[in-house]
């Protein structure tokens, strides 16, 4: 009898041990370190997945729902922890999935790929009388300007584009689809440098002449008071219709070239130093004075009266308060 009890006890203990061992190697879940992430085109990040319990082991496989948006490269080791290098390739959203070899357990991460690059509008070059929209402009302000072809951004740089390149947001009102503002001229240059390094391209700020020519509609101009209309409310956000805050880009009517928000919403930097008078002689692709203390800002502002939204309105900018920018590409 004692022998039977002894054998039964041994059997029970062995069962417990075997059961415990099985429990240790049973996979109950996969934990991934990020559920969602935002990347710029060309950026990479590492995702890490753990098997639960942590002493379980199995091969983990990584896949992307769209390799054209985000591709994956995995170590795929038979260990508790597996890492995957994700490379962002083009704008869009891809779902990165890590699963066990048998496919019974998985975890996902949504990768939103954002481009700091703008959507560009082609502007055919031409000759125009700069600042010559109203008869009230003093004659000494009129001058003939000839510009080559260029491309200008359809919208001002958004807060989302700024954040993905710079990693911060200086704007007073936070919303990714709104234009970034409170940007100093020098900070805009840092953004452009980083964007160019990331893309291998040569983005820049528009010259004042390019800005005005594009705002007026280039060769398609209908000589509107504002960029795209004589009715300020149809094209611009200003103090009477903005609720004293920025608004999403592209919500108003575009101008003749299909460009948005060149009147109102936020001031926009130009590359030129500010000068009170222009040169009176005809200019070809002018870039403004060689030196100065302030740079030119154009376009008006969500918290200022309508007349600042006039196409020809110009003013010097210093601190960057209320100022954003849009990009040009040769």
Going by their DSSP bridges, the two strands 44-52 and 29-32 should be labelled as: antiparallel
Q: Which element (helix H / strand E) includes 281?
A: none
Distance CA 226, CA 234 (A): 10
Residues paired with residue 46 on neighbouring β-strands, in sequence order: 85
pLDDT band for position 300 (cuts 50, 70, 90): very high
Q: What is the mean pLDDT of residues 216-240?
A: 97
Domains and CATH numbers, the chain: 29-114 (2.60.40.3450), 120-329 (3.90.1580.10)
pLDDT at 77: 62
> What does the pLDDT look like over 147-176, one tens digit per residue?
999 999 999 999 999 998 999 999 999 999
Query: DSSP label at 279?
Result: -
Query: Per-residue pLDDT for 319 more than 90?
Result: no
Q: What is the mean pLDDT of residues 272-292?
A: 89
Going by their DSSP bridges, the two strands 150-153 and 295-298 should be labelled as: unpaired
CB-CB contact of 215 with 298 (8 Å): yes
Mean pLDDT rounded to a whole number for the chain: 88
Alpha helices, DSSP H, located in 167-292: 185-199, 208-215, 232-235
Cα-trace Rg, the chain:
29
> What does the pLDDT look like over 80-113, one tens digit per residue?
888 999 999 998 999 999 998 888 889 999 999 9
- Find tokens 């959203």 and name the residue: 93
What is the percent of the chain with per-residue pLDDT over 70, rounded to a whole number? 87
Distance CA 123, CA 238 (A): 26
Going by their DSSP bridges, the two strands 267-273 and 295-298 should be labelled as: antiparallel
Instruction: Taking each helix axis as running N to C, give the angle between helix 159-166 and helix 185-199, from 0 to 180 degrees, rounded to the nearest 10.
Output: 70
Within a 13 Å sphere around the CA of 322, how many CA atoms are in the beta-carbon half?
A: 19
% helix, strand, coil for the chain, step of 5: 20, 30, 50
- Find tokens 């740089």 and name the residue: 157
Which two tokens mark 68?
A: 């054209």
> What does the pLDDT look like over 17-40, one tens digit per residue?
444 444 444 678 899 999 999 888
Residues paired with residue 41 on neighbouring β-strands, in sequence order: none
Query: Rounded to whole angstroms, what are the CA distances from 162 to 55, 157, 177, 189, 317?
Result: 42, 7, 11, 12, 20
The residue among 298 and 25 whose pLDDT is bigger is 298
Q: What is the mean pLDDT of residues 308-317?
A: 91
Q: Which element (helix H / strand E) includes 29?
A: strand 29-32
């Amino acid at each position: 009898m004692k022998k039977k009890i002894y054998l039964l006890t041994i059997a029970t203990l062995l069962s417990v041990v075997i059961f415990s061992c099985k429990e240790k190697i049973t996979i109950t879940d996969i934990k991934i370190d990020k559920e969602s992430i935002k990347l710029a085109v060309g950026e990479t990040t590492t995702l890490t997945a753990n098997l639960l319990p942590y002493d379980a082991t199995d091969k983990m496989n990584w896949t992307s729902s769209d390799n054209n948006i985000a591709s994956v490269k995995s170590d795929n080791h038979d260990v508790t922890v597996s890492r995957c290098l994700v490379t962002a390739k083009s704008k869009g959203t891809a779902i990165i999935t890590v699963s066990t070899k048998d496919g019974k357990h998985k975890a996902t991460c949504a990768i939103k790929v954002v481009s700091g690059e703008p959507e560009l509008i082609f502007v055919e070059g031409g000759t125009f009388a700069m600042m010559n929209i109203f008869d009230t402009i003093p004659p000494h302000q009129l001058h003939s300007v000839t510009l080559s072809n260029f491309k200008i951004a359809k919208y001002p740089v958004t807060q989302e584009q700024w954040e993905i390149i710079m990693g911060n947001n200086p704007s007073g009102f936070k919303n990714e689809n709104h234009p970034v503002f409170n940007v100093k001229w020098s900070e805009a240059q840092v953004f452009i440098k980083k964007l160019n390094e990331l893309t291998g391209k040569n983005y820049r700020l528009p010259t004042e002449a390019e800005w005005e020519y594009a705002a007026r509609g280039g060769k398609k101009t209908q000589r509107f008071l504002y960029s795209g209309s004589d009715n300020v409310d149809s094209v611009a956000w200003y103090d009477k219709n903005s609720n004293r805050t920025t608004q999403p880009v592209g919500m108003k009517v575009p101008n003749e070239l299909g460009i948005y928000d060149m009147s109102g919403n936020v001031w926009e930097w130009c590359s030129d130093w500010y000068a009170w008078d222009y040169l009176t002689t005809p200019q070809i692709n002018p870039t403004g004075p060689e030196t100065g203390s302030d740079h030119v800002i154009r376009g008006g502002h969500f918290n200022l009266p309508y007349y600042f939204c006039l196409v020809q309105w110009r003013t010097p900018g210093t601190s960057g308060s209320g100022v954003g920018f849009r990009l040009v590409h040769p």
